[in-house]
Structure 1
Amino acid sequence: MSSFLEISPDKLIRLIGTPNCPALIDVRTDEDFEADPRLVPGSVRRDYRTLDRWAGSLAGLTAIVICQRGQKLSHGVAAWLRQAGIPADSLEGGFEAWTAQNLPAVPVMLLPPRNGSGQTVWVTRARPKIDRIACPWLIRRFVDPNAMFLFVPPSEVEMVADRFGAAPFDIDADVRWSHRGELCTFDVMVEEFGLSSPALLRLATIVRAADTARLDLAPEAPGLLAASLGLSRMYADDQEQLEAGLLLYDAFYRWCRDATDETHNWPAGKKGA
């Protein structure tokens, strides 16, 4: 049973993917990390030995600290953060407990190199609609909460990717992150990042249906298509549209995870019927 300074894997998995998820900090030693170079979804690796240099970046946030077994490293870092005024807990049992429950873990080798600010950088075509909003949502919520997204003319995506060390996605070219057969880019990311939960697979079907004009695949797809096209008419700035779109996908994800059996019926019927 978790202590009051710990959070269990079962509770943490419910927070991951939501906009209010705490900052997840992986402080495993290099040796432990190299033995299994994957991350709890949404977590960022930090060196516990330079804690005094990076703790300030967590100001105003809450944090969950992850080490190999949930012992001295995570509890020590969490205690240090708390004394600095940053609410922090340790993941009970650490990364070993997480993987023992077969919970999702993101392979670090698939991530693009981080920039000087520690962000992964991604680039795609300007004027995003569906896949190019869904993929950034997935990355921000499950892969890198600080990821940067660049929207440029289609002809410039690959050159910008090369010049700025960015990962190109959802373009008509032979790149890792794009459509594959009948799958859209969101499908590919969910699978390759090891995130194939029932909720994300359901959402992936909706995204694919809306993005590829196969609205018969999911009854929710016309609603996502309509909302996405509406957002594209509301915002001329792609970054503003992305921020608005994140909320849209937050809502669809929570429906996929928690509310698919819920119905709404008002009025319930005529009085005396």
Structure 2
Amino acid sequence: MAAAYSEISPNQLMRLIGTPDCPQIIDVITDEDFALDPRLVPTARRVSHAQIHELVPELKEKRVVVICQKGKKLSHGAAALLRTHNIAAEVLAGGNFAWRSAGLPLVPVAAIPEPIVGSRWVTRHRPKIDRIACPWLIRRFVDPAAQFLFVPPAEVTSVANLFDATPFDIENTFWSHRGPLCSFDVMVEEFKLVTPAMTRLATVIRAADTNTPVLAPQAAGLLAFSVGLSRQYKNDIDQLEAAMPLYDALYRWARDGYDESHDWPAVTQ
């Protein structure tokens, strides 16, 4: 069924998630309904429909998609209220029911560290591949407002404890390598973001991060760009911001362009 005026279909929204064009996704499902299935559309934040007006200042000039259980009164009412403030707000057609019926990814809320919005993560400084890829995944699919701390390896655990941050890509932590899997693989699995595109992307990242280029020929290019960025930037946060478009492009390759190739054929008369 096609989306009506002021609505967006699940597949249309999924095409935006994971890209810089992803809208702000607001879930206004009731507590009772959410308790029956505590999962979120990737990057969604939960807000009561009665408090939607409190988000107006931060949503100004942003595109918004509002979600409820069935895409009816709660989401349409909340979106209409936002539109009275000149906010471009749409409704997910069919709501969470339609999203689930389409077989699209849902992130278990239990997997997201507190706070769900503005989560704080910490890892070793001078990142190369996994420690850039994981923040990209978190920002694009879990928590766009996540903060990332880069500190000396010996200080990661202490900083995590003192600053309420979740450690990642460091030994003996939950969010780290498991057997042949790198930290990015683990996050894809734990956040239930496994799709064909994400599997392709994860293979390239694992190949580059674990020195197994035989897994994916694209790994050599990712390694070269990652090393180059680490040499170009002294500030790890600046490096992360500069690398975000690189991983955006890799994701689009994995989703839409993985079967494209180029050659230089001879011109024949």
Category of TM-score, reference length = shorter chain: over 0.9
Aligned residue number for residue 244 of structure 1 = 242
Paired residues for 1:71-86 under 5 Å: 71-86=72-87
Paired residues for 1:23-172 under 5 Å: 23-114=24-115, 118-172=117-171
Gaps of 5+ in 2: none
Equivalent residues of 1:112, 1:165 under 8 A apart: no
Cα separation, 1, equivalents of 2:202 and 2:51: 39
CA deviation vs aligned residue, 1:166-202 (integer Å, no higher than 9, x gap): 1110002x21100000100000000111111001001
SS in 1 for 2:204: helix
Query: So what's the TM-score if we normalise by structure 1?
Result: 0.95
Cα separation, 1, equivalents of 2:101 and 2:138: 24
Shift of 1:215: 0.9
Q: Does 143-152 or 50-59 show the bigger shift?
A: 50-59
Equivalent residues of 2:10, 2:99 under 8 A apart: yes
SS in 1 for 2:263: coil
SS in 1 for 2:177: coil
Cα separation, 2, equivalents of 1:81 and 1:103: 26
Cα separation, 1, equivalents of 2:237 and 2:221: 22
SS in 2 for 1:65: strand
**Which amino acid in structure 1 is aligned with residue 54 of structure 2?**
R
**Which amino acid in structure 1 is aligned with residue 23 of structure 2?**
P
Cα separation, 2, equivalents of 1:52 and 1:261: 45
CA deviation vs aligned residue, 1:212-252 (integer Å, no higher than 9, x gap): 11111101000000000000011000001001111110011
Shift of 1:271: 5.0
Cα separation, 2, equivalents of 1:161 and 1:151: 11
Residue 269 in structure 1 maps to residue 266 in structure 2: yes
RMSD: 1.1
Shift of 1:270: 3.5
**Which amino acid in structure 1 is aligned with residue 266 of structure 2?**
G
% identical aligned pairs: 58
Cα separation, 1, equivalents of 2:113 and 2:259: 38
SS in 1 for 2:105: coil
Residue 22 in structure 1 maps to residue 20 in structure 2: no
Equivalent residues of 1:18, 1:250 under 8 A apart: yes
Equivalent residues of 2:177, 2:183 under 8 A apart: yes
**Which amino acid in structure 2 is aligned with residue 179 of structure 1?**
H
SS in 2 for 1:63: strand
Residue 214 in structure 1 maps to residue 215 in structure 2: no
CA deviation vs aligned residue, 1:32-58 (integer Å, no higher than 9, x gap): 111111100111111221122222111
**Which amino acid in structure 2 is aligned with residue 140 of structure 1?**
R
Aligned residue number for residue 231 of structure 1 = 229
CA deviation vs aligned residue, 1:12-34 (integer Å, no higher than 9, x gap): 11111111111111111111111
Residue in structure 1 matching 2:257, options 251, 256, 259: 259
Equivalent residues of 2:53, 2:82 under 8 A apart: no
Aligned length: 268
Cα separation, 1, equivalents of 2:47 and 2:57: 13
**Which amino acid in structure 2 is aligned with residue 269 of structure 1?**
A
Aligned residue number for residue 186 of structure 1 = 184
Query: So what's the TM-score if we normalise by structure 2?
Result: 0.97
Aligned residue number for residue 4 of structure 1 = 5
Equivalent residues of 2:182, 2:206 under 8 A apart: yes
SS in 2 for 1:151: strand
Aligned residue number for residue 198 of structure 1 = 196
Cα separation, 2, equivalents of 1:7 and 1:53: 23
Cα separation, 1, equivalents of 2:54 and 2:94: 26
SS in 2 for 1:90: strand
